[in-house]
Amino acid sequence: MEYKTLADEILRGVGGRENVTSVVHCATRLRFKLKNAAKADAAGLKENPGVIMVVESGGQFQVVIGNHVGAVYEALVKGSALSESGDDDEGADKGSMFARAIDVISGIFTPFIGIMAASGILKGFLALALACGWLVPESGTYKVWFAASDAMFYFFPLVIGYTAGKKFGGNPFVTMMIGGAMVHPLMIAAFDAQQPGAASEHFFGIPLVFINYASSVIPVILAAWASSWLEKRAMKILPSSLRNFITPLICLMVIVPLTFLVIGPVATWASQQLANGYQFVYHVSPMIAGAFMGALWQVCVIFGLHWGLVPLMINNFSVLGHDTMLPLLLPAVMGQVGAVIGVMLRAKDARTKALAGSAISAGIFGITEPAVYGINLPRRRPFIFGCVGGALGAAILGYFQTTAYSFGFANIFTFTQIIPPAGFDQTVAAAIAGTALAIVFAALATYFFGTEENAQPTEGNPKIVPESVQAPRGKTLIASPMTGSCIALDDVKDPTFASGLLGKGVAIVPTSGQVVSPVDGTVVSLFKTHHAIGIESADGAEILIHVGIDTVKLDGKFFTPHVAVDAVVKQGDLLLEFDISGITDAGYDLTTPVLITNSDDYLDVIPADIGQTVSEQNPLLTLLR
């Protein structure tokens, strides 16, 4: 229910169902393709407590949510019949050629990014097992796990054929079959039996040069585009009674031979040139290449531009059997983790420490959005120090030419993926040292210089006094929305509220079943289940009143609202009523957190005396400016 509510709010924020062409999701964000980006309310979405950040890049409107993005995506698609495919592209704002390219790449690779990363990690574990002598290649255990880890990469033409077909608006099963033909055992056997450079077979008199397309990327993408193009035109010409089987027949009969005759050889040549070009640039100065990638990778991630480099890494594995770009990203990721460690060590309030702790755990496993958007980027200096640490660490990896032997996304498991077939060597030691340098530098720099209050005075500039000791510039009083006894927020039996993640405040155990407005202001949110309401005061305080713990599960039962969203209210106006006995008899805790969700806009939020009874409209919170 909570995910459904958030999904509905996000859908409204992007301009409604009619403004959405397609949507996919990656590890932490929803990626919308909108018909008119001007209809989206980016500012409003950023204020939503369930949204970490909103990014508009690469022709996509990206809503960063966090690790539970899959559940929100499922609720979004089920509730609105949205589609991943690009069938409805007509009328959409396609953007620049570069933006469209990024959109195509992300649309093709995003659906299977999780299993691809998992396959890479499993390959890394197998390499570690071989290096440590735990397994041998001849053992059945190794062979079974190797097959599990290698299946995704070997059968890339099938997997990419399916997702590319969906992205290009064609029949994904037709394009998947084209990919299947490319790795069919008959074709692989013909390749193995073929003399080097010789055309031993013909297609209607045209000589065939067989190529091993296992693990290839670019050929099947081009073949899927050609098939989708042909399919759309065939569908317009053929009568409706014949389309369902004649159109796939035409695509298979035309595109499969075309792939083996033209598309495949040309794309394979282009893939080799791309890999050779990267190798040339890298070997000019691996150290500079490392520093460059370490510094700018997270900047690319912010704008979604990293998708332009993902196919290059995968192509390196396909053509060369290894990749030197992936290891350079490890210090870039861990540099941001180090910066968050510095923020957490320096922070004094529980909310920042809790946010930093969760961001660190996510960052270690390669998910840096919570660290970047939630902690580092808003403070600016920690993000910069993280990038500098990433550059220093990646320069070391570049100097020693650390290489990855299986694909994945940079995280703690990447260390297993850089173990050479011959076993541990200096390239692995360089990866450990470079990553450690990135973390330590970013953490120390952030701890000592990462915030304005840590900055040392310079000549002509007064020292900035920490906010905790500054004299209040003013205060705002928030009245109690109900009658009951006050308890400290950290005593609430819900870790989300107790940690202060949603804001500072206090909790009330109510003795009367009504909620009144604590301020003069506007109702900005009212959950469909009516158990929680948000008010924005006339002077900008954002107040969340959440009646009970887990009462969302009641689905509105025992709650009666008396206002609607956008209603203008005065202090003391009745907002909603609830049945105390009904809720408690149903087994729910009625402890009601009253939070200031924009607590960061204030020096402090001071609650009324804990343990005392407070009456509605009496002072409850004092906000210091």
CA distance 517 to 533: 10
Contact 258, 350 (CB under 8 A): no
CA 209 to chain centre: 42
* Side-chain half-sphere exposure of 494, counting CA atoms within 13 A: 19
CA distance 542 to 596: 6
CA distance 442 to 350: 22
Q: What is the pLDDT of residues 507-519, one digit of tens each?
A: 999 998 999 999 9
CA distance 99 to 110: 16
Q: What is the pLDDT of residues 111-162, one digit of tens each?
A: 887 788 788 888 888 888 988 889 998 999 999 999 998 898 889 899 999 9
pLDDT score recorded for residue 188: 85
Residues constituting the chain: 625
pLDDT surpasses 80 at 49: no
CB atoms within 10 A of CB 462: 7
**Percentage of residues in the chain with pLDDT exceeding 90?**
35
CA distance 191 to 260: 12
CB atoms within 10 A of CB 533: 24
For 379-398, letters b (16+ CB in 10 Å) and e give bebbbbbbbbbbbbbbbbbb
CA distance 580 to 109: 51
Average pLDDT over residues 307-323: 83
pLDDT score recorded for residue 50: 78
Contact 531, 384 (CB under 8 A): no
Q: What is the pLDDT of residues 102-122, one digit of tens each?
A: 778 777 887 887 788 788 888
CA distance 27 to 118: 13
> Which residue, chain included where needed, has tokens 């309310």?
41
Contact 623, 503 (CB under 8 A): no
pLDDT score recorded for residue 202: 80
Distances (CA, A) of 557 to 78, 481, 507: 24, 21, 22
pLDDT score recorded for residue 353: 81
pTM equals: 0.57
pLDDT score recorded for residue 453: 44
Q: What is the pLDDT of residues 54-76, one digit of tens each?
A: 877 667 788 888 767 778 888 88
Largest CA distance in the chain: 93
pLDDT surpasses 80 at 279: yes
Average pLDDT over residues 296-325: 81
pLDDT top residue among 174 and 606: 174
Q: In what order do the strands lie in the sheet with 559-561?
A: 514-516, 574-578, 559-561
Record the tokens describing residue 297, joined without a space.
């990778």
pLDDT top residue among 474 and 549: 549
pLDDT score recorded for residue 542: 92
Q: What is the pLDDT of residues 413-470, one digit of tens each?
A: 899 989 998 888 999 999 999 999 999 999 999 999 976 544 443 333 333 333 333 3
Contact 545, 516 (CB under 8 A): no
With bands split at pLDDT 50, 70 and 90, how would you rate the model's confidence at 95? low
Strands 592-596 and 29-34, by their bridges, are: unpaired
pLDDT score recorded for residue 506: 93
Q: Would you name the residues annotated as active-site residues?
A: 26, 546
With bands split at pLDDT 50, 70 and 90, how would you rate the model's confidence at 357? confident
pLDDT score recorded for residue 462: 38
Question: What is the average pLDDT score of the chain?
Answer: 84
pLDDT top residue among 197 and 612: 612
With bands split at pLDDT 50, 70 and 90, how would you rate the model's confidence at 98? low
Average pLDDT over residues 195-215: 76
pLDDT score recorded for residue 455: 40
pLDDT score recorded for residue 460: 39
